[in-house]
Structure 1
Amino acid sequence: MLISNEPGIYREGKHGIRLENIIAVNIEAETEFGKFMRFDVLTYCPFELAAIKVELLSSEEKQWLNNYHELVYNKLEGYLNDEEKAWLREATRAI
């Protein structure tokens, strides 16, 4: 099954932002308690680092973003020329 993961925040009368990824729901394990599912990301697009206030992120959130950006780079680099790879490397740099 495919679903969208769309965390967002909206400030009434001001502005809002929503970040979206398409994810696949897959079976991780089956136990005596039933099926346990996992989410696998299908859209590999970097988040705009200039729009992120890094000082507001927890260490776990920073690590998640760095891991996600590493995954994005590794998934896409083989399809890119040198100029595009350089752009993607900068866009997915660790924070």
Structure 2
Amino acid sequence: MKRKLYEIAHSRAGDKGNTLVLSLIPYKEEDYPLLKEKVTAEAVKTHLQDIIAGEVERYELPNLPALQFVCRQALLGGVTTSLAMDTHGKSLSYALLEMEVEP
């Protein structure tokens, strides 16, 4: 049965120019292996394909446990040049949490 990421994790967003950084942190440490397996850079790129024009890189932070995604060309030029409503990309952490995974 598929589950939305918001059921098992929370997320934070940050930005630097036209680069968006998304974290994904499970509520329970035992869900970290599932996130590592299912929430790949490719899966995030596909899920946010209408938003992210560039590459997505994933970093594993097993001691936290958490995943971090660096999404290039994701903020329509960046905070100082974008006409987007959410120039910092904060709402994109919620967009990531809408992604479904199957255990």
Report the TM-score, using the length of structure 2 for normalisation. 0.29
Report the TM-score, using the length of structure 1 for normalisation. 0.30
Q: Comparing both chains, which one has the higher relative contact order based on Cα–Cα distances under 8 Å and sequence gaps of 6 or more?
A: 2
